[in-house]
Structure 1
Amino acid sequence: MITIGLALPHYDGLFPTPGVTGAHRTRKALAYAQRAEQAGLHQVWVSDHLWLDVAPQDRRRSPDCWTLLAAIAATTRRIRIGSLVTPAPLRAPELLVHQIATVADLAGERVDIGLGAGWNADEFAAAGRRFPAVADRLASVERTAALIRAELGPMAPQVWVGGKRSGILGVAARIADGWNLAWNPTPADYRRCLGRLNTAQPSARRSTVPILRSVGLTTVIGTDEADLHQRWTRLRRWVPGGHLDGLSFDAWRSRGLIGTPDEVHNRLTAWKSLGVDHVVCALGMPFGLFDDEQVDLLTAAARRAGAATTAKPITQEGTT
């Protein structure tokens, strides 16, 4: 059964009230994680970046991914949590494993670790880390996953690998429990990347548990055609950097999970038929939220499509 996750809003100004920044931003992100749990969503995902450049001279800061995940773990009981994705070379592996272990202490079996190779050289420089060559960054993903499993043993969280290029797909094929493709792939994009993933998968892995599959999709739901048009108008004003100014309404609504409840239902059903296990929904833009009502509309649409919308309660001592 397909499950539904939320790309949690947590960057400066990427909330329905754009002035939410700094400490208010971090507290608001935590509140939205709790709201997602109350709504019955299966998972929340936090991106692992120091900032997001939404336009020239417009840099939006973020709370630390694993610190925020620890806070979410401590203040929720059922919803799964995860990073989407942590650039493996950006953090010292031993320190990252220590952080993950602490979050797992609080969340039990609810943690998923998304790993990627990293791409933003400026971010590495700001963190005082060397920006390695592609081959070294890919190798870092494999080494980090191996260290997580060696240090945490049978209780190690699932490792997801995110990406679409051949190199990272090869890494996912060899070591991942799950694979994520974002943002807004078409079904043809997904099938093409999945073919590369399957081709790269060692024969020994093909006979074991299959790799879980997820896609990240921009999600905007209107109650009907008129309502969708109104939300489109509001979203264009809200999105920073004018990123939607050159896009027509019809081109925009062809993306991801954008449309009326019937359209969203049909698209979720289509992704499920392609073998997708999990959909990460970005409500307006990745890791932003322009409209509070979208959380409830998404939950209703997911239930209508037969998606699992409530994570299994955990029973580990100290977390129930």
Structure 2
Amino acid sequence: MELRIFTEPQQGATYDDLLAVARRAEETGFAAFFRSDHYLKMGSVSGEPGPTDAWTTLAGLARDTRSIRLGTLMTAATFRLPGPLAITVAQVDQMSGGRVELGIGTGWYAEEHTAYGIPFPALAERFDRLEEQLAVITGLWETPPGGTFDFAGRHYPVSGSPALPKPVQTPRPPILLGGMGPKRTPRLAARYADEFNLPFASVEDSAAQFARVGAACADLGRDPATMTWSNALVLCCGRDDAEVARRAAAIGREPDELRVNGLAGTPAEIVDKIGRYAETGSQRIYLQVLDLADLDHLDLVAAEVLPKV
């Protein structure tokens, strides 16, 4: 099982806060540093000093880290046009030496759209737009050098694009899709995704949705074994119950609730629960770290969990 670090900077973080976490994750052996793509805080926190842009952050981290992979869970398709997004991600891939991954979704948080003047269509249209975005982004990246790209889309028509710049990774950076949608989500994942991710899903729900996506792969003639399967779960690890309780309180959660809905408890408890996700076919866990100042949390998991999974 591969372990990755996942942060939620809209809850209140500077670039320097994120850099400290990314560097500690890199130093202690985690495989990747990912961040959310949100412009508005959630819940009762202040959100100060305010949001940071996901791809601006990743561009900085591309230069300020050396080996850790970098990406988004998930970039909102409502935030950016597909052509400029393809350019941005390709450039950050170049800046990082080929370490970038693009997680992308429909966008779901209506309030952040109204807070910053971003159009927020109905869900069916957001799925239509996401499907066209995936076609445009992958088409631009995969167009052979010297060629041009055209796409007769309803929302994002493209004509005569030079399809530049090219990312370092070939044929393109990995694309992550995810979610519990029963129909369109599996079909889009089967067609476009290198990795399918489930955020905050139970073991049982994960197994069921992985099966739906696997069936969608088979319907398209794709071997489901070519998909990477992953989960994202909130992390709250402690050497004993007191330390678990302290870390839970720091993020406004209850230890018992986190033991059910996240990865919480002693290292042994967390290793055991990761094993249950592994039985569903999950190959990666994104550890949602909410207290970015608690770097000792990463040290503990790196020392006591990472070597055992």
When normalised by structure 2's length, the TM-score is 0.83
The correspondence of residues 145-156 of structure 1 with structure 2, limited to 5 A, is: 145-153=134-142, 154-156=170-172
2:203 maps to amino acid: P
Deviation at 1:290, TM superposition (A): 5.8
Cα distance in 1 for partners of 2:119, 2:261 equals 36
Q: Distance in 1 between matches of 2:16 and 2:257?
A: 35
Letter in 1 for 2:79: L
1:144 Cα deviation from its structure 2 partner: 1.7
The size of the alignment, in residue pairs, is 280
Equivalents in 2 of 1:40, 1:59: separation in Å?
Answer: 29
Please tell me whether residue 235 in structure 1 is matched to residue 248 in structure 2. yes
The 1-side partners of 2:138 and 2:65 are apart by: 25
Structure 1 residue runs without a partner (length 5+): 14-20, 307-320
Letter in 1 for 2:296: E
C-alpha separation in 2, matches of 1:208 and 1:193: 13
Structure 2 residue ranges without an equivalent (≥5): 143-169
- Pair 1:130 & 2:119 matched: yes
Q: Report deviation, 1:208.
A: 6.9
Do structure 1's residue 297 and structure 2's residue 309 form an aligned pair?
no
Q: CA, structure 1 residues 124+250, in 2 after alignment: closer, same or farther (shift >3 Å)?
A: closer
Match in the other structure for 1:278: 284
Paired position in structure 2 for 1:107:
96
In structure 1, the residue matched to 2:76 is 87
What whole-Å deviation, never above 9, does each CA across 1:286-319 have from its counterpart, x for those lacking one? xx4363211011112343323xxxxxxxxxxxxx
Q: Percent same amino acid at aligned positions?
A: 29
Whether the 8 Å contact between 1:174 and 1:202 is mirrored in structure 2 is no
Counterparts of 1:10 and 1:89 in 2: how far apart (Å)? 19
Q: Which moved more, 1:65-74 or 1:25-34?
A: 25-34
In 1, the alpha carbon distance for the partners of 2:172 and 2:285 equals 23
Q: Which shifted more, 152-161 or 192-201?
A: 192-201
Residues 201 and 231 of structure 1: CA distance in aligned 2, closer, same or farther (over 3 Å): same
Letter in 2 for 1:77: R
Amino acid at match of 2:217: Q
Q: Is the 8 A contact 2:235 2:264 kept in 1?
A: yes
Asked if structure 1 preserves the Cα contact closer than 8 Å seen for 2:214 and 2:224, the reply is: no
Query: With CA pairs under 8 Å and 6+ residues apart, which has the higher RCO, 1 or 2?
Result: 1
Amino acid of the residue matched to residue 5 of structure 2?
Answer: L
CA distance in 1, matches of 2:97, 2:130: 23
**Contact 1:5 / 1:42 at 8 angstroms: preserved in 2?**
yes
Q: Distance in 1 between matches of 2:20 and 2:266?
A: 27
Q: In 2, distance between residues paired with 1:290 and 1:271?
A: 28
Q: Secondary structure at the match of 1:254?
A: helix
The alpha carbon displacement at 1:12 in A equals: 5.0
**Counterpart position of 1:312:** none
SS of residue paired to 1:181: strand
Q: State the 1:58 CA deviation.
A: 3.9
Q: CA distance change for structure 1 residues 220 and 263 in 2, over 3 Å: closer, same or farther?
A: same
Over 3 Å counting, the alpha-carbon distance change for 1:231 and 1:264 in structure 2 is closer
Alignment of 1:215 onto 2:231: yes
Aligned: 1:173 with 2:176: no
Matched residue SS, 1:48: coil
Across the aligned residues of Structure 1 and Structure 2, the Cα RMSD in angstroms comes to: 2.2
The superposition leaves residues 7-65 of structure 1 with CA deviations (integer Å, 9 ceiling, x where unpaired) of: 1353454xxxxxxx5xxx2112112111110111100101111122222x844532100
- CA distance in structure 2 between the partners assigned to 1:9 and 1:59 by the alignment: 10
- Aligned equivalents of 1:304, 1:74: Cα separation in 2: 28
1:216 partner SS: strand
